[in-house]
Structure 1
Amino acid sequence: MQIHRSRHARGFTVLPNAVLQDRRLSYTARGLLADLLSRPDGWREDGRHMADTSPQGRLAVAKALRELTAAGYYRVERVRRPDGTFVSESHVYDTPHTAYATAQVVPGAVLPGSGRPADGARGAHPVKDRGKEPTLPARRMAQGGRRETTPAPLSPALAEAAAVLHTVTSAEPRLRLGAAEAMTLAPLVAPWLERGLGPRDLGFALLGGLPERIHSASALLRDRLTRKLPPAVEPAAVSSRPRRYECTACARPTPYEGVCRTCAGADAAPPDAVDERARTAVRGRALVRAALSDRHPRPLAGARA
């Protein structure tokens, strides 16, 4: 085998042969290590981004990182910031560090890490005082030793809103909520009930046109309860509607109070109009008979039929 090398002036990385020829590592792990060592100091990239930008999948990249960690080439350290938050820092080595190789750690050995012991100084790590009473909300023990937080009691209006929400969402298995989630969404259901909308209206608003995959039922319901809430009806708009009355004689709806025009005789035709309609009807019937007589003349006397 002949090796052909080029002389590079810039943009190259010098690596020891022991790293590239370490038979404990797979070729994927060695290639990933070479890629990481070629990056500048302070480079930030996680395993998911490495997998998404390479032909290997996430499982292959995760396995390669585990190999590098076991061999002492790679480690992740949690560092506490002055504000109390924690960040993860990755360290890559071109020479395996046996102190960080999980396969070669001596039992009881203390590995160097970040932070200082809790000595009472400012910024030191706090030490849990087991004799101190907890300041969290009151909790009770459930079956299996699991702790449960006792929810605060709801007002009657919010309790009714939570019950209505449970009734509506029970028809869709993907939208079934727990008691804590229903209590959280109850303040958003209460305005619907105050505006006279019931479970039928909530069902149309919450269950119609659901996506094929629902990641968070609580978030979807919160969005629809807020976005689809109908506007409140103004009292002035209700009072401006025309009032309807009924006729005191025949109970027909009328726009005014009292007797309708028919019962009052206001719609009756005058006597002259009645006589005129009668004469018109008589004259019309005479014209029809004359027209029919001319169309079918009578036979002459003495003629054979």
Structure 2
Amino acid sequence: MDTPQNTALMRALAEVPGPLPTSGVVHISLPHTERFTVVGNHLAQNAALSTTAVGFAVRIQSLPQGTEVGIKALAARFPEGEKLIAAALRELEAHGYLHRTRVRLPNGRMVTRTVFCNHPEALLRPRPADASKRGPALVAAPVSTQAPAPVTAPVSAQAPALVAAPVAPHVPAPASVPAHVPAPAPVTPHAPLPAPEALETPAPPPVTDRPVPAGPLPPAPPAPRLVPPPTAPKAPPRPLPQPRELTPGLQQTAVALLSDLRRHAPELVLSEADIERLAPATATWLERDAHPDTIRQALTTDLPQPVKYPAKFVRHRLTVLLPPPLPGTEELAPARPRTVVIPLQTCEGCERAFRSRTPSLCRDCRTACEQPAA
């Protein structure tokens, strides 16, 4: 049997004007009458955007206003995953097609407002200052001053819809017409109607209240930038922690611990260069009295799937999860209230010991000395 052919496609291909190219794509462009979206070549042929980003831009542009276009909403509507959708939305946001801001509703709830612009480059073009104030020009139809002539012929279907034939009053015919009375001749116009083109007069220019300057117009001021700037660059990564003193013992233990990671997590396979670069950070953990099992558990627990860059992942966890140094015994001891000890003094009268801040007499001797004076 022959290969099945689409007869409708072949018939449309035969109607393509001009010679067909010998290679490459052949376009059969049919006009859309419903359910279509206009997409500019600045988006469809943008070499800086990935095909996924261009596809999601077309999909978002085709959705009605008010449709949820978040990552989870698009993942539920289309077969792509959330990571691929998030990367595509970041590309569109960097090139000005998408703008996402956090706004607060009157009830206090924070939501993300998404704005999609189908042609961000057009917003950067300077526009005249009075372009937004003036509305569309209203062109009035020319009014003829001549009286309309009676029309006896039927109106053609191609005549304008606003032109109506004059309606003649209905006169009832007499019951009988005498034989000597001649029949009335049909009424015909004296001159044929002019063509519709002859009745049209050029529309006057729009009247404005501003005087027309004689010289050239001054250049319009540049319009403010409405396209959001690209996403801010990421902050530089934090430096690797360094020990106070990298002793041979700490270096050996750190290298052995990093080399043994692939036994506990097959995804964390590190090269010799990576181990040599990450050994000082691991030695910092050991210097701060972290047990090797604790370090191993911090590096191998809850791994992402898949681990694309094991060395970067281990570097991130060694830097972010670094524990603080252990406090000393003095810092852990609770603060005790200070006790004031009053020294012992010897009474100058009776040689009795008593507590006093300064040398003096005891209480009994002071009382005996005060009684005779009273």
Pairwise TM-score range, normalised by the shorter structure: 0.3 to 0.5
Q: Which has the higher helix share?
A: 1
TM-score (norm 1): 0.33
